[in-house]
Amino acid sequence: MTRFIIRMLQRLAIFGIGALSVWLIVFVVFDFADKRFPAAVAFALTYAVGAYIILPYAVRMGLKILQRRRVPSFTVSADGLAADPVNIALYGTLDELRAAFKAIGWVEADKLSLGSSWRMVKAFVLNKPYPAAPFSTLYLFGRPQDIGFQKPIGDSPRKRHHVRFWGRRLENVQDIDTASFWLNTDAPQPGARVPWAGAGTRDTGFGLTKMTFQITHATDSDTNAERDYIISELQAAEAIGPVVWEQAGAPVGKRVNHYITDGDVAAAALGKGAELPNIVPSQPA
C-alpha cells in the first residue's frame, strides 16, 4: 500500500511539472513574446526558451522524482535522459587511443565552443565539410566526454561515424558492475593506462531530440552495426589486440533517441597483439 501511494504521488508530481511547463511556455513566454515581437520572432523565441531551458529543467526534475539510479548501459544527455549506448571499451593511454584512430583515418573532434559551434552550424546549413566538427556533450562517470573521433560519410557534415570516450581510473575500481564504478567522477591521470569507455553511433542527418525538441543530428538506430564497424576498422589496422565481449550495466529509463542494441561491449587493448589486463572476467570472441 505504501509503495502504491508513493508511486501515485510521484506521478502526480510529474504531471504537475508537465502542466507547469506547458503553462510557462504557452501563457508566460509566448504571451510575453507575442505582445512585443512579430509572430515569427515570438514563435522562435518561445521555441528557444521552451526547448533549451524549460523542458530540459522539467525532465531533470522528473528524473529526480523517479530516482532512477542504476548502473547505466547508456551515456546521459545534459537533460538527464539516457543517450548513446556504451558499446566499446579500449585499454591504454590517451596517446595510444589517438594513435589508433589516426591509423584508421579518423579525426579528433574539436572542443565544443562558441567558435566551433558557429562553424558547425554554417557547415550544417550550407552542407559543407567540417571534418573536425565538435560533438554535443554527453556524460558518463558524472563528467563530459574526454575525447571524441569521427569519420565523415561523403562530404556532408550531416553524416558521419563518430565515437566518444571517457577514461576511467583503475585505482578506485572495486567491481565494474557496481554503481560506484560508474558514478565515480575522477578523470585518469595523464599518461595512465586505463579503460576508455566508448559510445559509438552513426549520424544520418538532421533531427530533433525527444521531449525537449532540441536541434541535433539524427542517428542510425542500429548501434551494434556501428560498434562492429569501428572494431573491424581498428582490427584491420592492427591497432588493437584480441577482442572480448562484456555485458553493459542494467537498463535505464527513457532515452534521447531510439536505439537497437544487444547490450554487448566490445573490449580490446590498444596496440598490435596487446592483451587486456585481468580487471574483470572476459569471454573470448
CB atoms < 10 A from the CB of 232, how many?
Answer: 13
Q: Is the pLDDT of residue 79 over 50?
A: yes
Domain boundary among 14, 32, 66: 66
Cα Rg of the chain, angstroms: 21
C-alpha cell at 76: 546521459
Shared domain for 10 and 87, answered yes or no, is no
Residue 284 pLDDT exceeds 50: no
Does 111 lie in the same domain as 55? no
Single pTM value for the model: 0.67
Among residues 199, 170, 195, which one has the least CA distance to residue 83?
199
Same domain, yes or no: 130 and 229: yes
- pLDDT at position 82: 74
Cα separation, 175 vs 227, whole angstroms: 24
Q: Are residues 152 and 58 in the same domain?
A: no
Summarize pLDDT for 155-192 with one digit per residue, the tens: 777 788 999 999 987 665 545 555 566 556 778 888 99
d(CA 31, CA 166): 43
Q: What is the pLDDT of residues 227-265, one digit of tens each?
A: 999 999 999 999 999 998 876 653 333 444 556 676 688
On whether both 236 and 136 belong to a single domain, the answer is yes
Last residue of a domain, one of 30, 48, 66: 66
Q: Are residues 226 and 161 in the same domain?
A: yes
Joined together, the cell numbers standing for residue 272 give 598490435
- Kindly state whether residues 192 and 117 are assigned to the same domain: yes
| 83 and 60 share one domain | no
Phi, psi of 244 (to 5 degrees): -120, 165
The count of structural domains within the chain is 2
pLDDT number for residue 177:
53
Residue 62 cell numbers, joined: 522528473
Q: What integer is the mean pLDDT of 264-276?
A: 87
**Domain boundary at 13, 35, 66, which?**
66
pLDDT at 51: 79
Question: Is 105 in the same domain as 122?
Answer: yes
Q: What is the mean pLDDT of residues 40-66?
A: 77
Cβ-contact 177, 249 below 8 angstroms: yes
Which whole number is the average pLDDT over 101-112? Answer: 94
From the list 40, 19, 45, 17, the residue with the least C-alpha distance to 30 is: 45
Burial letters for 27-44: b for 16+ Cβ neighbours within 10 Å, e otherwise?
Answer: eebbeebeeeeeeeebee
Same domain, 131 and 23: no
Distance from C-alpha of 121 to C-alpha of 201, rounded to nearest angstrom: 20
Instruction: State which residues form the domain around 204.
Output: 74-284
Domain co-membership, 19 together with 106: no
Average pLDDT, the chain: 79
Looking at the fold, whether 31 and 95 belong to one and the same domain comes out as no
Give the separation between CA 11 and CA 30, rounded to whole angstroms. Answer: 27
Q: Please, are residues 157 and 126 in contact by the beta-carbon 8 Å criterion?
A: no
> Which positions ≥6 away from 83 have C-beta within 8 Å?
74, 75, 76, 77, 138, 199, 255, 256, 257
